[in-house]
Amino acid sequence: MAAEEPLVLGIETSCDETGVGIVRGTTLLADAVASSVEEHGRYGGVVPEIASRAHLEAMVPTVQRALDQAGIKASDLDGIAVTAGPGLAGALLVGVSAAKAYAYALGKPLYGVNHLASHICVDQLEHGRLPEPTMALLVSGGHSSLLLTEDITSTVRSLGATIDDAAGEAFDKVARLLNLGFPGGPVIDRYAREGDPAAIAFPRGLSGAKDPAYDFSFSGLKTAVSRWVEAKRRAGEDVPVRDVSASFQEAVVDVLTRKAVRACKDEGVDHLMIGGGVAANSRLRALAQERCDRAGITLRVPRPKLCTDNGAMVAALGAEMVWRDRAPSAFDLSADSSLPVTDTHVPASHDELHRLSE
Ligand code: KG4
Ligand code: ZN
């Protein structure tokens, strides 16, 4: 392990946020984010080409903003971390290229890290080092997974994942159906607070006795909401947006929390962390707390700003890589849009490491 807590800058460009964070060990020093979300609004989803161009324009000013916020010089850094995948290929490429340029120019090691592992590791900035093992429920616009995390820098095992839509994607699609705009999660969360979660009995996907215990499915739920709303509209009746939001949201968070607590019990893990954009959901946080308390599980959820995509989470994982003496990446690191979650980072091969040390 490194002697002193390492100072690392992290760059995140896997989707529509250009995030640059600076972390010392498990302490957050800066979290600068430039988002292109408004440019995608009228398309109802992220347009990859628009995201890539926005990353390119935002990159250097956002790095500068992070350095200013942290009150450090780039030369003070011990390493540069970057999301190598998974995510949008063109968007990832902008971040990876920038990280290589900074690392090369500054003579610092480069760490290509996994976006999903970063969503888990960010909790260290809020609650200190992750207990080992920790169960992670990762719920975002692109992913819904249950991950048994033994060592966040090297050993993450996937227990289950969505077989169709991601949880956040379901929020976005239902919001579009209700004409609530994009992204859908925060708006549905708001409307649901004034609605009745028991008003409409929407289906709980993959919850039968014979269904896989840890996999998720949200596309049937989305179809059920769509049919229910269409029927109302055809009958010329008003759609009760608040009740639909609350009942839909309850169906999602009921399944997520039930399966997460079950995975903890089955695996004998007594710490659950929830990460990813959907972890910002107020009802998910409340129900998870209730069910964890009942099961004797300690729940860790980062504050909402750290749950959505940001650079601090990448810096957090990069700092942990340095702290645990993990091998840096080679300068020919490539972006991998479908990097598996088990690849927590992309270390240089043995030959490359040998070359790097010469
Ligand atoms: O992690 P994230 O920022 O980006 C991805 O890696 O996907 O997650 C974005 C997703 C979107 O689908 C958004 O609708 C959802 O997170 N989200 C929420 C809330 N805030 C963001 N979903 C439910 N409730 C929220 N409060
Ligand atoms: Zn994400």
User: Ligand 1 center to residue 189 CA distance, Å?
Assistant: 11
Atom of ligand 1 nearest to the CA of 280: 26
- The fold for domain 7-122+310-357 equals Nucleotidyltransferase; domain 5 (3.30.420)
**CB 142 less than 6 A from any atom of ligand 1:** yes
Radius of gyration of the chain (CA): 21
Q: How far apart are CA 206 and CA 212, in angstroms?
A: 7
In this prediction, residue 62 carries a pLDDT of 97
Containing 85, the helix (H) or strand (E) segment is strand 79-85
The residue contributing the CA closest to ligand 1 atom 19 is 185
User: Ligand 2 center to residue 206 CA distance, Å?
Assistant: 24
In this prediction, residue 337 carries a pLDDT of 96
Atom of ligand 1 nearest to the CA of 115: 6
In this prediction, residue 82 carries a pLDDT of 98
Tokens found for residue 197: 């979660």
**CB 217 less than 6 A from any atom of ligand 1:** no
Which pLDDT tens digit goes with each residue over 299-340?
999 999 999 999 999 999 999 999 999 999 999 999 999 999
**Average pLDDT value for the chain:** 95
**Mean pLDDT across 131-137:** 98
Containing 230, the helix (H) or strand (E) segment is helix 219-234
Which pLDDT tens digit goes with each residue over 23-42?
999 999 999 999 877 777 77
pLDDT at residue 2 is higher than 60: no
Confidence of residue 349 (pLDDT cuts 50, 70, 90): confident
Q: How far apart are CA 134 and CA 273, in angstroms?
A: 7
In this prediction, residue 45 carries a pLDDT of 73
Per CATH, the number for 131-303 is 3.30.420.40
DSSP-derived 3-state class of residue 235? coil
In this prediction, residue 65 carries a pLDDT of 98
**CB 328 less than 6 A from any atom of ligand 1:** no
**CB 241 less than 6 A from any atom of ligand 1:** no
In this prediction, residue 198 carries a pLDDT of 98
The residue contributing the CA closest to ligand 1 atom 14 is 185
In this prediction, residue 158 carries a pLDDT of 96
Domain extents in the chain: 7-122+310-357, 131-303
Atom of ligand 1 nearest to the CA of 249: 23
User: Ligand 1 center to residue 330 CA distance, Å?
Assistant: 32
**CB 191 less than 6 A from any atom of ligand 1:** no
The residue contributing the CA closest to ligand 1 atom 10 is 141
pLDDT over 70, % of the chain = 96
Atom of ligand 1 nearest to the CA of 309: 3
Domain 131-303 in the same topology as domain 7-122+310-357:
yes
Triad 183, 185, 187: Cα angle to 5°: 85
**Closest-approaching ligand to the CA atom of 167:** 1
Cβ burial, residue 123 (10 Å; 0-12/13-18/19+):
buried
Which pLDDT tens digit goes with each residue over 54-82?
899 999 999 999 999 999 999 999 999 99
pLDDT at residue 351 is higher than 80: no
In this prediction, residue 49 carries a pLDDT of 83
**CB 314 less than 6 A from any atom of ligand 1:** no
Triad 210, 211, 212: Cα angle to 5°: 120
C-alpha 301: how far from chain center: 12
Which pLDDT tens digit goes with each residue over 250-298?
999 999 999 999 999 999 999 999 999 999 999 999 999 999 999 999 9
Rounded to two decimals, the pTM is: 0.93
Is the backbone peptide bond immediately before 186 cis, with ω within 30 degrees of 0? no
Confidence of residue 358 (pLDDT cuts 50, 70, 90): low
17-36 burial code (b ≥16 CB/10 A, e <16)? bbbbbbbbbbebbbbbbbbb
**Mean pLDDT across 226-252:** 98
Confidence of residue 356 (pLDDT cuts 50, 70, 90): low
In this prediction, residue 50 carries a pLDDT of 81
Farthest CA pair distance, the chain: 75
